[in-house]
Amino acid sequence: MIGFTRVGRIVKDPLAALAFAVDITSYIKRKHNDTITCWARVGGPAGEIVWQSEFPDMAALQKFQEKLQADQEYWAKAKGAEGLFDTASMIDGVWNQLA
């Protein structure tokens, strides 16, 4: 099992950023990947969101990313995040499940 995470830091309008995170997660879940979840940090540095999803293998992750990259509706929705997150500090992670 492969896990994928993306961590983003909110820099403006936390309520709008949280609403965006919920909306884009719901869209991706409905259209591309039903395992995606979205989390808001409640301890440690404030204002972080993490998206997490699971794939059976790296090929499935790559196929998901290719489909998302080609999805014009996704990109139109993604424009709603402009200015809400520090895009330069986004951190992606790929994880191999151990147990």
Per-residue pLDDT in tens (0 to 9) along the chain, 99 residues = 999 999 999 999 999 999 999 999 999 999 998 999 999 999 887 899 999 999 999 999 999 999 999 999 999 999 999 999 999 999 999 999 999
Q: How many residues does the chain have?
A: 99
pLDDT at residue 46, as a whole number: 80
Domains and CATH numbers, the chain: 2-96 (3.30.70.100)
